[in-house]
Amino acid sequence: MSGKRIRLLIWKEFTQLRRDPLLIRLLLVMPVAQLILFGYVVAVDIRNLATAVVDLDRTVTSRKLEAAFSGSGYFTITQTPRTEDDLRPLLDRGTVKVALVIPEGTQDRLTRGETAPIGIIVDGSDSQISAVGSGYASQIVAQFNADRREASGVAIEAPGIDARVRVMFNPTLDPVNTMIPGLIAAIMMISLMVIMSQAVVKERESGTLEQMFVTPIKATEYLIGKLTPYAALATAQMLLVAAGGLFWFRVPFNGSVWVVLVGLTLFMFTCIGLGLLVSLVSRTRHQAQQAVMFIMIPTMVLSGFIFPIQSMPAIIQPLTNLIPLTFALQVLRGAFVKGSDFAALAVPMLALVGFGVVIFGASIVATRRRIAE
Amino acid sequence: MSGALVRMGAIVRKEFRHLGRDPRMLLAVVITPVIQLLLFAYAISFDVENVPTIVIDLDRTPTSRSYLEKYEASPFFEVVEHGSTLADVDDAFDHNTARVAVVISAGFARTLDGGGQAQVAVLVDGSEPTAAKVAQTYSVALNQLYTQQLTRAWADAQGLDLSSLGMLEPRVRTWYNPERRSSDFLIPGLMVVIIAIVTVQQTAVTLVRERDLGTQEQLEVSPMRRIELMVGKLLPWTLIAFLDVVMITLLGRALFGIPLRGQPVALALGAALFVFASLGMGLLISAIAPSMDTANIIALLIAFLPSFLLSGFAFDLAQVPIVLQWLAYAFPAQYMVTISRAVFLKGAGVADLWPEFAALAAYAAVMLGISSLLYGRRSSR
């Protein structure tokens, strides 16, 4: 093992990277673009849903209910059609996502002490909006009932439930607080897999790999020299995302830095291993790119990075355990949002160790064998 | 003209031969879309039901049990664990075995019998915000409803007038997609994302590769005209993109029962315009990118990310900041997602969607125009 040879190789790698100044700039633009898009588009807090109200009752009660909806901040009443039939085109065109229908005689029913049905129509074509929108609507109606009950005076003597609903760890329920920690892990995986596999395959494509092996450099030295620049690049990208998350999106950090560092280091071995495996099975950079896509898309979908694992069908859920990113996300989100310590994160940490040993080990063995040939 | 056809035919044959020589490429453009379709359609959902819930009943009375039955009966909560101390809540939240905890304090039944307000704590783990939001709203609603029932029962027993206790009952109806299956919503949009990935990425790389390998110069000294070369290069990818559209439509119908309510012609026209727009974008990238690495990353930046995130395919654009909404207009994916979804789900035709068709057509014309200009300048150097 010679430190000098490794340093030379690292220097060569950086010189090659510098020769393409557009590439370097893009590699730094990439995480920023992802930060903005994931932070503002995926981690969006659903508010101000465009809502139509059909008030067939036209009473004090119906107006109060409308005020409760528009005052909640979740619904913005943009349309007030006269009949229910007018709703169809509004929802068809997507002008409104939610509609509230207050039937005639609602106030009369209420004052007779009956249960008065009101209609809430949600556009089911977007499952997130329909799930959250109908939840908010149910909550507003429940609150409306509670206010009426309290105003009636009966409730003072009557028994009741004093439920304190408290959200722990992420009290504002801002999705960005879980998205950014996840993005840090995702960026590392994308960066190490895409750029490193391309670099290794490029060397083979242009035939410089053979030239490399007639030099006195050893397989281990070659690997270390080749990996270090890309690990450094990935770290720079992660720092960029972390800084953007903490200072721009103001994501709270409740945990220990050590948990994050250990988790990311473990996950880095898995990512490097995957990148090497991709470069081993690909003859051209084009193939390497396809192989990366082949791994990336299931990873993005099944890890819970964007789509909650909880919402997947029961048959699919076990598959998520085959994805290394799933566990990296558990560690990072646990540390950021919940402030979890090593004991609480033992299972995902051990899983990352397992993936690291298997994937990194396999890639090293296979690469050495390939080099020895 | 016939000479041009022969020359273009030669390029098309050459491109297909490249594909045929590399069976994995064929796999990538034909099998990968199918896998993506299955993955997305089965795995993606924001529907929240059966949030795992731990209950801690420190009262252990028939009254507390009947209160807890409300959670068991609700589709939004699934009681997975009965704990005995508050430490069980920490444990369940730490290990993600439960996301909601309902804690009934001792004396629950006694307080209610005495006409008091019995305290219940509902703790929601906020680290999964969508599930937490749904759990929070429905637990508030559930408790209000339960209180309402208690009040009515009490007032009835006291012989009081119930007239002040009328209540509203929300009846939620879900239009377009009553079972709230996400696949109906996602597959028409997914088609757009898949076409964007296949076409932009492949065309972006194919011309750069030609340059890298030095075969570009060989093509230029051939009698081939620039436009013939471009058409010849683009035709195979157009065909493959259409193959993907047909496959996704058929699979979507056969496996997931996605309705195709509108005119297939409208879908085909939209797909054609979108494919041209995407191919134009790919050509543009290959004209400006100095190397394959840069071409790859630019393709990822302006094809994959915007079509995935700024198309409205899974994320509602009305909810994002206004600057990003403007940005979304600069990419063709959003128009195609609107067309695809409207044709599949809402039975729309060309007449209903003319603004989107016009936007796509303009986009395709501009992209192909600019890229052929840039490309010409580059090769005439």
pLDDT reading at A353 higher than 90: yes
Minimal Cβ distance to A308: which of B32, B39, B131: B131
Please, are residues A67 and A42 in contact by the beta-carbon 8 Å criterion? no
To the nearest whole Å, the CA of A289 is away from the closest chain B CA by 8
Whole-number pLDDT of residue B380? 47
CA–CA separation, A128 and A137 (whole Å):
14
If asked whether residues A211 and A359 sit together in one domain, one would say yes
* pLDDT given for residue B219 in this prediction: 67
Find the residue in B nearest to A206 (Cα).
B213
- The per-residue DSSP string of B66-92 comes to HHHHHHHHSTTEEEEEEESSTHHHHHH
pLDDT at B175: 66
Q: Report CA-CA distances (Å) from B286 to B201, B230, B296, B297, B370.
A: 10, 12, 9, 11, 12
The verdict on A15 and A97 lying in the same domain is: no
- The mean pLDDT value for A316-322 works out to 88
Please indicate whether, in this complex, the C-beta atoms of B316 and A44 are within 8 angstroms of each other. yes
Radius of gyration of chain B, Cα coordinates, nearest whole angstrom: 29
Whether residue B141 has pLDDT greater than 60: yes
* Residues A116, A178 within the same domain: no
| Nearest residue in A to B205, CA atom | A286
Residues A184 and A282 placed together within one structural domain of the fold: yes
Cβ distance A139 to B161 less than 8 Å, yes or no, reads: no
Q: Is the pLDDT of residue A248 over 70?
A: yes
Nearest-Cα residue of chain B relative to residue A157: B115
Residues A26 and A142 in one domain: no
Residue A168 in any domain: the answer is: no
Distance CA A59, CA A67 (A): 12
Assigned domain for A132 exists: yes
Residue A345 and residue A219 share a domain: yes
Instruction: Give pLDDT tens digits for B262-293.
Output: 888 888 889 989 988 888 888 888 888 877 77
* Minimal CA separation from A203 to chain B, in Å: 13
Are residues B245 and B195 in contact, defined by beta-carbon separation less than 8 angstroms?
A: yes
Q: What does the pLDDT look like over A83-120, one tens digit per residue?
A: 888 888 888 777 888 899 998 988 888 888 788 888 88
- Residues whose CB is less than 8 angstroms from the CB of residue B170 and which lie 6 or more positions away in sequence, other chains included: A117, A118, A120, A137, A138, A141
Residue A137 has pLDDT above 50, yes or no: yes
Q: Is residue A162 part of a domain?
A: no
Give the range of the structural domain holding residue A342, as residue numbers without chain letter.
3-43+174-372
B376 has pLDDT over 70 = no
What pLDDT digit, counting tens, does each position of A198-245 carry? 877 877 777 777 777 777 777 778 878 888 888 888 888 889 999 998
The pLDDT confidence band at residue B378, using thresholds 50, 70 and 90, is low
Averaged over B135-149, what is the pLDDT?
85
A2 to chain B, minimum CA–CA distance in Å? Answer: 30
Please indicate whether residue A356 or residue B316 has the higher confidence score (pLDDT).
A356
> In the block, which residue shows the tokens 């296979």?
A366
For residue A169, is it within any domain? no
In this complex, is the C-beta atom of A111 within 8 Å of any C-beta atom belonging to chain B?
yes
Three-state secondary-structure class, residue A253 = coil
Assess whether A331 and A183 both reside in one domain: yes
Taking all residues of chain A, what is their mean pLDDT, rounded to a whole number?
A: 84
Which residue, A128, A156, A184, sits at the end of a domain? Answer: A156
CB–CB contact B205 A289 (8 Å):
yes
Nearest Cα of chain B lies from the Cα of A357 at a distance, in angstroms, of 24
- Same domain for A118 and A245: no
Does the distance separating the beta carbons of B346 and A92 come in below 8 Å?
yes
pLDDT score at A324 = 92
- B167-175: strand order across its sheet: A75-79, A49-55, A98-102, A115-123, B167-175
Q: What is the CATH number of domain B51-165?
A: 3.40.1710.10
Cα–Cα distance between B318 and B338 in angstroms, integer? 13
* pLDDT for residue B299: 82
Asked if A305 and A357 sit in the same domain, the reply is yes
Q: Is the ipTM of this complex over 0.90?
A: no
Test mutation, A54, A311, A322, chain B, max B CBs within 10 A = A311
Residue A164 lies in a domain: no
- Give start-end residues of each CATH 3.40.1710.10 domain in chain B: 51-165
pLDDT for A263: 92
For the stretch B177-194, pLDDT in tens is 555 566 777 788 888 888
What's the pLDDT at A358? Answer: 93
Residues A345/A330, Cβ–Cβ less than 8 Å: yes
Provide the CATH number for the domain around residue A57. Answer: 3.40.1710.10
Number of domains observed in the structure of chain A: 2
Which member of B166, B170, B298 has the closest CB to residue A120?
A: B170
Nearest CA in chain A to B97: A310
Mean pLDDT of A123-139: 80
Does residue A166 lie within any of the structural domains? no
More confident residue, A168 or B329: B329
- Interface touch B32/A135, C-beta < 8 Å: no
Residues contacting A197, CB < 8 A, separation 6+: A275, A276, A278, A279, A282, A288, A291, A292
Residues 6+ apart with CB under 8 A from A60: A107
